[in-house]
Each structure stands twice: as structure tokens, then as C-alpha cells.
């Protein structure tokens, strides 16, 4: 019998992946669409004329809009849901990893670091103190290793020693409010509950966007448009080149249906795991064999002591296919309830548990990606020198042996710029990259860095009356450093 504490996410047979179920028989009653219709021409009301329009209020979008507005640009942020933060709040994936490297060097400053600090001031973020970053102290490491999120905090360095990395876990509800506050303080105009469904083009230049809301179909015009939809929604509308190939084995092929189970007595569950390891393994195998969710994280925030976080992943063919997304939601919810029922009935500690929340927004990991002026490819992960237009430096903490040899990666400004379309930038996980670079470097802090860079560049372009492609790098770099970014 093993007394070793079993941690979080990995079930007895590793991480479980589910494919999206096929369309139900009843869907076959519907005639497949083979024709198209021609919509009548119409006049569309222009709600506002702005300097900068940011589409999507996720990690990339909030950083872009707030940075542009702080620099004086009249900025409109359009978001389809009623809250900001995207996956970092509404998707229930509020873990901000890899803010620094294994040696305690702080690499992601600027907007993301500021956001974490503002939440820490409200007791709404969990992160190690700066003096602990890079620590190899066994006592310090033990604290994080005992927590089920430990793999976000503890890594090995090139000498094989375990070290503490600067990562954070955020309270998503306080986070949503804090992002509103930051947007309001900066003077961003928010259009929530507004779904952008097209762009306004003049030749090869994007001049605005069209959005649908309860007020009908309206337009906002602007001098710079920043696509922060996560999925590059504006790329097909504007004709900018995009790609969506993902190696089927990569994380970013997955959709996710986040679930929080509250009222869990972890002490009873831990006792069960260590005192009855065979029963525990049987339970996990039963979950697995019934196609249910295996493994969970434990809430580490002060108000989440009794919370289990499930991040089930569903492998999908296309994450922008509305039919697949709909089937995933139906399947995800059914599995969430069945998983909870089985845990409640069989797992000590779960007797009084309840499903507290399912992700207000579907977890998407990879959609369309820009094919831009520079595409960050796998080969760039082996670079040792920054680009001449570097806008972000990331800790390369997650690529095992490769990370030990090449512990930083660099992102050029050109990865946010389309090749042939003017007035447009992409500052979200749809940045120009291949599936390898994207799978490791499209996370929340990375997207906030892209957003901050795009917002700063947009403000410079507006002030100078130039296209974003022509923004002088020296000025952009100075503005980013002024905003707390850490650059070469
Ligand atoms: C299960 C799962 C676990 C993850 N775990 C982590 C983790 O631990 N740490 C981490 O850092 N990252 C994690 N990620 C990845 C991370 O959440 C995303 O890569 C990141 O949020 C991307 O930010 P974004 O701004 O590009 O997009 P999003 O967070 O998706 O934000 C896009 C925003 O745009 C809005 N939007 C989209 N289309 C439109 C439209 N047409 N009109 C108006 N608004 C629109 C959306 O509503 C959303 O608010 C995880 C992702 C998943 C799915």
C-alpha cells in the first residue's frame, strides 16, 4: 500500500481526452444546406467613430484596449459576453503560469504583472512573493508541491534542481470587476453583449467593424482595428491570410468544458487515497471506463478551500465549427453531472459536494491563426538572440530538455501584423505562429503581452497618422518599457 499523496490532474491512466460525439440521429432530419442566399443591401448605423477598436475582451483584448486608451487613443472594446477576461475569467482557467524562469528572473512584466498585483492587493490572487521566485528551498517547494497546481509553480533547472517559478492563480469574479475598473480608469468605451460579425473595408484597409447586439446591427469605425477574438474571427472577414493546422496530438486541438465542484472535504478524500489506494484506483478506473472526467485540481484561493476544478478536454476537428461546439456543450454538461454523481456516491469527501459552476464560456484552445509578416515557427524556439523588433520575451519552461537548453523565446512585432491587409493587428492566441509555437506560447500572460504591444503600437500609429506596419520600433519599445514590459 502506498502512502504517497496522489496529485490532481492525472488519473490512473494519464490525462483523459474525449472526442466530440457524432451528430445525433435526430439531426439527420435536417436537409444539409447546399445553396446560398443573397442578402439585401442595407444601411447600417455607425454608432461611434474611434481611434482604436479592439474586438474581444479576453487577455489579449483587455491589455490592448487599456494600453491604447492609457496612451490617449479613443478606444472602443467590443465583447460578445457581459464580462471581460475571456478564458482567464469566464473560461475558469484562471492560472497565470510562467511569468518568470526557473532562475527567478522576472520575464513578463507590464499589464499582466500589474493585473496580478492589483488582485493580490484585494486578496484575490495567489502567487509566490518575489523573494521566493527561483527558490530551491525544500520547505518553500513543499508547500507548492503539496498543492495540486504544483506543476505550474515547480520546475527543474539545468542543474536538475527543483525551483519555484513565478505563476499566479486568480479569483475570476474579482478579476472580471478589476478589469472593468482598469478599463473605466483608462477611458475605454465598452460595448458588451455585442458580437462582431464583419469588418468594414476600404480597398485593402480595415476601417471598422460591424456588430450585432440587442440594439440591432451597427458599425463602429476606427483607425486601427485589433483582433483579440482568440480565434482570429476578423481574418476571413478582412481577407487576411490564416491557417488552422494543428498536429492532432497537441493541446490546442482541444475544446474544454470547465467545471467547479464545491463542498468537497479534501481531508476525507486524502485519507481515502492513502488508506485505500486500491479503492481509489478502482474509482478512477471506473470514471475512466465510463467515459467520465478523471482527476481534478484543488482550489488554492482563500475562498476555494473546498473546491475541485475539472478541466476536461475534448479533442476536436475544428474549434470554430458551430455544430461541433454545440455538441461539445451538450456532451460536456452530461459528463459533468455524471462525473459529479459518481464522485458524490463513491468518493469519501464528496458526499456533500455540488456542482457550483460550469464555465460561462466554452474553453477554446486553438482556432484560426494569422499568417503574418513573420510567423513564429518551431525553429524560432531554438533562437538565442532576440529579433530586432522583439515585443516580448517568454520563459520556455514547458518543453522539458529543450527548455533547459533554450530557456527563453522571443516574439517579434511582425507576428501581430497581417501581410497584405492594413489597419489590422492580431493580438491574441491567433498571433502568427505554427502549431508548435502556439501550443506552448498562447497562454494568458503571453496573450496579455501581445495585447499590450498591439495597444501601444496602435496608439503610436494614431498619434502619428501612420499605418501600424510603419510604427518605429524604437518608439514602441520605449512605450512598452514605460508600461512595465521587460525587453532586451
Ligand atoms: C481548458 C483550458 C485550460 C487552459 N489552461 C490555461 C492555463 O492554465 N493558463 C493559461 O495561461 N492559459 C490556459 N489556457 C489557454 C488560455 O486560456 C488562452 O490561450 C487565452 O485565454 C487566450 O487569450 P485570448 O485573449 O487570445 O482569447 P480568449 O481568452 O478566448 O478571449 C477572447 C475574447 O473574445 C471574445 N470574442 C470572441 N469572438 C468574438 C466576436 N466575434 N465578437 C466579440 N467578442 C468576441 C470572447 O468572448 C472572449 O472574451 C487554457 C485554455 C483552456 C481551454
CATH number of the domain residue 281 falls in: 3.30.70
Supply the pLDDT for residue 11.
41
Could you tell me the strand order of the sheet in which 95-96 lies? 95-96, 168-170, 125-126
In contact, 408 and 395? CB cutoff 8 Å = yes
Cβ of 439 closer than 6 Å to ligand 1, yes or no, is no
Supply the pLDDT for residue 290.
86
CA of 349 to the centre of ligand 1 (A): 32
Which residue's CA is the nearest one to ligand 1's atom 7? 95
Alpha-carbon gap, residue 135 to 143, rounded angstroms: 12
CA of 112 to the centre of ligand 1 (A): 15
| CA of 364, closest atom in ligand 1 | 53
3-state secondary structure (DSSP) of residue 172: helix
Whether residue 325 lies inside any domain: the answer is yes
CA of 85 to the centre of ligand 1 (A): 8
Cβ of 183 closer than 6 Å to ligand 1, yes or no, is no
| CA of 256, closest atom in ligand 1 | 1
Whether residue 151 lies inside any domain: the answer is no
Cβ of 93 closer than 6 Å to ligand 1, yes or no, is yes
CA of 419 to the centre of ligand 1 (A): 24
Q: Is the dihedral of CA 464, 470, 473, 479 positive or negative?
A: positive
Whether residue 62 lies inside any domain: the answer is no
In contact, 399 and 457? CB cutoff 8 Å = no
Supply the pLDDT for residue 10.
36
Helix axes 59-70, 110-120, angle to 10 degrees: 100
Whether residue 190 lies inside any domain: the answer is no
Whether residue 44 lies inside any domain: the answer is no
What tens-digit pLDDT sequence spans the chain (488 residues)?
233 333 333 344 444 455 778 888 999 899 888 899 999 999 999 999 999 999 999 999 999 999 999 999 999 999 999 999 999 999 998 899 999 999 999 999 999 999 999 999 999 998 999 999 999 999 999 888 776 667 789 998 888 899 999 999 999 999 999 999 999 999 999 999 999 999 999 999 999 999 999 999 999 999 999 999 999 999 999 999 999 998 888 888 888 889 999 999 999 999 999 999 999 999 998 998 888 888 888 887 777 889 999 888 888 888 899 999 999 899 999 999 999 999 999 999 999 999 999 999 999 888 899 999 999 999 999 999 999 999 999 999 988 888 888 899 999 999 999 999 999 999 999 999 999 999 999 999 999 999 999 999 999 999 999 999 999 999 999 999 999 999 98
Domain that holds residue 332: 17-22+250-364
Whether residue 274 lies inside any domain: the answer is yes
Number of domains forming the structure of the chain: 1
Cβ of 451 closer than 6 Å to ligand 1, yes or no, is no
Whether residue 343 lies inside any domain: the answer is yes
Q: Report the 10 Å Cβ neighbour count for 302.
A: 10
Cβ of 312 closer than 6 Å to ligand 1, yes or no, is no
Q: Which three cell numbers stand for residue 250?
A: 497537441
CA of 470 to the centre of ligand 1 (A): 29
Supply the pLDDT for residue 18.
58
Helix axes 444-464, 59-70, angle to 10 degrees: 30
- The DSSP 8-state label assigned to residue 100 in this structure reads B
Cβ of 61 closer than 6 Å to ligand 1, yes or no, is yes
Strand 52-55 versus strand 224-227 pairing type: parallel
Whether residue 268 lies inside any domain: the answer is yes
Cβ of 443 closer than 6 Å to ligand 1, yes or no, is yes
pTM, to two decimals? 0.95
Amino acid at each position: 500500500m502506498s502512502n504517497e499523496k496522489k496529485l490532481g490532474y492525472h488519473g490512473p491512466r494519464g490525462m483523459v481526452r474525449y472526442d466530440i460525439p457524432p451528430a445525433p440521429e435526430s439531426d439527420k432530419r435536417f436537409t444539409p444546406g447546399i445553396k446560398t442566399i443573397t442578402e439585401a443591401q442595407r444601411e447600417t448605423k455607425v454608432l461611434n467613430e474611434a481611434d482604436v477598436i479592439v474586438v474581444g475582451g479576453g487577455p489579449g483584448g483587455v491589455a490592448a484596449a487599456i494600453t491604447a486608451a492609457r496612451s490617449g487613443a479613443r478606444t472602443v472594446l467590443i465583447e460578445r459576453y457581459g464580462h471581460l477576461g475571456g478564458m482567464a475569467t469566464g473560461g475558469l482557467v484562471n492560472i497565470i503560469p510562467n511569468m518568470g524562469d526557473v532562475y527567478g528572473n522576472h520575464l513578463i512584466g507590464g499589464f499582466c504583472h500589474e493585473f496580478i498585483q492589483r488582485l493580490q492587493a484585494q486578496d484575490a490572487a495567489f502567487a509566490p512573493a518575489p523573494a521566493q521566485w527561483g527558490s530551491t528551498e525544500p520547505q518553500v517547494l513543499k508547500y507548492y508541491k503539496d498543492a495540486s497546481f504544483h506543476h505550474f509553480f515547480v520546475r527543474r533547472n539545468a542543474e536538475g534542481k527543483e525551483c519555484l517559478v513565478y505563476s499566479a492563480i486568480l479569483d475570476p469574479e474579482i478579476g472580471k470587476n478589476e478589469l472593468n475598473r482598469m478599463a473605466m480608469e483608462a477611458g475605454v468605451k465598452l460595448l458588451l453583449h455585442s458580437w462582431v460579425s464583419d469588418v468594414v473595408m476600404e480597398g485593402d484597409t480595415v476601417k471598422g467593424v460591424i456588430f450585432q447586439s440587442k440594439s440591432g446591427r451597427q458599425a463602429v469605425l476606427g483607425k486601427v482595428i485589433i483582433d483579440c477574438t482568440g480565434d482570429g474571427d476578423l481574418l476571413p472577414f478582412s481577407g487576411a491570410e490564416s491557417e488552422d493546422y494543428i498536429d492532432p496530438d497537441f493541446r490546442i486541438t482541444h475544446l474544454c468544458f470547465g467545471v467547479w465542484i464545491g463542498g468537497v472535504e479534501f481531508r476525507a478524500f486524502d485519507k481515502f487515497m492513502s488508506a485505500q489506494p486500491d479503492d481509489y484506483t478502482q474509482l478512477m478506473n471506473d470514471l475512466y471506463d465510463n467515459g467520465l472526467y478523471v482527476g481534478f485540481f484543488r482550489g488554492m484561493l482563500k475562498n476555494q478551500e473546498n473546491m475541485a476544478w475539472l478541466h476536461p478536454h475534448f479533442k476536436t476537428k475544428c474549434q470554430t465549427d458551430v455544430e461541433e461546439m454545440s455538441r461539445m456543450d451538450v456532451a460536456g454538461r452530461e459528463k459533468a453531472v455524471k462525473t459529479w454523481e459518481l464522485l458524490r456516491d463513491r468518493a469519501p469527501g464528496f458526499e456533500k459536494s455540488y456542482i457550483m459552476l460550469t464555465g460561462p464560456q466554452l474553453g477554446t484552445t486553438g482556432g484560426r491563426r494569422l499568417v503574418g509578416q513573420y510567423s513564429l515557427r518551431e525553429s524560432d524556439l531554438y533562437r538565442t538572440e532576440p529579433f530586432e523588433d522583439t515585443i516580448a520575451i517568454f520563459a520556455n519552461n514547458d518543453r522539458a530538455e529543450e527548455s533547459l537548453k533554450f530557456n527563453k523565446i522571443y516574439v517579434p512585432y511582425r507576428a501581430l501584423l497581417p501581410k497584405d491587409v492594413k489597419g489590422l493587428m492580431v493580438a491574441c492566441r491567433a498571433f502568427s505562429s505554427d502549431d508548435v509555437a502556439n501550443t506552448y506560447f498562447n497562454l494568458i500572460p503571453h496573450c496579455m503581452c501581445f495585447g499590450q504591444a498591439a495597444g501601444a503600437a496602435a496608439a503610436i500609429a494614431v498619434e502619428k497618422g501612420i499605418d501600424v506596419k510603419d510604427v518605429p520600433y524604437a518608439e514602441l519599445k520605449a512605450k512598452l518599457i514605460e508600461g512595465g514590459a521587460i525587453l532586451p
